[in-house]
Structures are given as structure tokens and as C-alpha cells.
Amino acid sequence: MFEIPETHPRYGSLMKREKLVAGIEAGITSKQGLIAHGRGEAFDYLIGEGTLNSARRATEVAASLLLVAKKPVISVNGNVAALVPKEIVELSELIKAPLEVNIFYRTEERVRKIKGHLEKQGAGKVLGAKADARIPGIEHERAKVDREGIYSADVVLAPLEDGDRCEALVAMGKRVITIDLNPLSRTSRHATVSIVDDVERAIKNIISVVKEKKGKKEGEKKLAVVVGGYNNKTNLREVIEEIVNRLKEEELILMR
């Protein structure tokens, strides 16, 4: 990796780019993944590169949903594997959810490499190589899933999801949690719970809320109330309101 001094004002952002470039060199991230990340970065600027209050509320619901799930699964693509490998392995253990490799630019070699990369970080069960089932209504490679994984899961955590697949998973009756910096994307609009935040921040936040809830031994009833009281569209409106208010403040600063 290229040496970036920690004092650089954009250290965090540059390190993410380094991780993705390393992901490409290791054969786990696609080149197209860089472009997807770039679009995400633009939204992160508008958000202020920090977690919004609305994203915190969505995270609380997401953590509750993962804890009440009967069969949760975490979907992993090439960007997620490069950016947050340790964190998703930790979360997978905390909520007893297998990881499943699921990529748009699928080659069996890349699936194998992502699996190996996760196992190196300590992952137990990594699904996705078998791909013995299909999500109905999807024609591209991300339709390929494991029958014992995403296909039969009741709750899917899919960071950096594709809009059409998110819609198709919801149509199968699943509850889908997404992490996507764009509050306007099809993914954000169709998910059961959309966390509009950077994937690193969001996964870290989910881990800490899950730990807190487990520590307090919150019962299923209490968790279900949190999930039941949530409306994703309302939350997305709040995200947009927070972004607009932030931009208005920025504008005032510029005018001074």
C-alpha cells in the first residue's frame, strides 16, 4: 500500500482508496468497484463524512432486526471484502450469520479469492461458491445464491447492494438491510432498512449497537417493537432533510 501520512486532511478517505486498490491487486475487487466507490464518495461529501442522526436510527433498527432474525445472512461483494473484512467477520460471529460471497462481475476465481480472504480474517462459514439456487426475476450474475444461504434467509444484510436485487429479495418475502451512501438509489428506496452511511462507519456502528443490545439482554419483544415502529421512507426523508440543512449551513459559511 502507498504510504499516506496520518496528518493528511483526507487520510481516512485516501486509506479507503488504498484498500480498494489493494483489493484489485489481490483479485478480490473489480475495477468497476472503484467507480461505484467514487459515486459513493461524492454522496459522502454531501453527508459531511460522518454518521447522520437518521443513519443512527436506522442502525438501531438494523441491529434489532439482525438479533430477531431466525436465519440472517450477510452478503459480501468485492468492495465490502476489501474495505471491512475484519468487521464483517466479527459481525457474522456476533449474530451467528454466515457470510455469502455474491458479486456482480462473477468469476469462480474471484469468489474463491474473496472466500480465502475472509477465511484469513477468521471467518468460519463462507457460502457463495456453490450457488445452487437463483433469485427469481434477476438475469445477471448476482441472481446466483446458495440454497442454504441467501435463498432461504429471512433477513439479509447486503452492504452495497444492487437496486434490482434488493427489490427481488424483498419480493421473495425477505427483510433486507442495506448500506448505501445514496439515499435516492433504488437500493435505498426498496430496502426494509436503509442505512445511508459509509460502509466502514455503518458496520462498526452495527457491531457496537448489537453488542450493547446483547449486553442488556434485550428480549425479542422489545427488539420487535423497535423494528415494527420503523418506516424506511420516513427515515429516508429525514436523511435528505439532514443533508439539505447541512448544505444550507455550508452555504452560510461560504457567504461570510
Which residues here bind ligand ATP, judged by CB under 6 A? 36-37, 39-40, 43, 160, 162-163, 179-182, 185-187, 198-199
3-state secondary structure of 8: coil
CB 217 within 8 A of CB 197: no
Q: Residue 115 or residue 201: which is nearer to ligand ATP going by CB?
A: 201
Phi and psi of 73, rounded to 5°? -135, 145
| Minimum distance, C-beta of residue 99 to Mg ion, in the bound complex (Å) | 21
| Minimum distance, C-beta of residue 162 to Mg ion, in the bound complex (Å) | 4
What's the rounded Cα separation, in Å, for the pair 177 and 61?
A: 9
Identity at 24, one-letter amino acid code:
I
* Stretch (H or E) spanning 183: none
| Minimum distance, C-beta of residue 170 to Mg ion, in the bound complex (Å) | 15
Chain residue at closest Cβ approach to Mg ion: 162
| Minimum distance, C-beta of residue 163 to Mg ion, in the bound complex (Å) | 5
Report how far Cα 225 is from the mean position of its chain's Cα atoms.
23
The site partner of 43 among ligand ATP, Mg ion, none (C-beta below 5 to 8 Å per kind) is: ligand ATP
> Which residue from 116, 82, 118, 78 is spatially nearest to 99, judged by alpha carbons?
118
What's the rounded Cα separation, in Å, for the pair 207 and 93?
A: 10
Q: Residue 82 or residue 95: which is nearer to ligand ATP going by CB?
A: 82
Q: Residue 20 or residue 223: which is nearer to ligand ATP going by CB?
A: 20
Q: Summarize as ranges the residues that interact with Mg ion (CB under 5 A).
A: 162
Q: Residue 146 or residue 162: which is nearer to ligand ATP going by CB?
A: 162
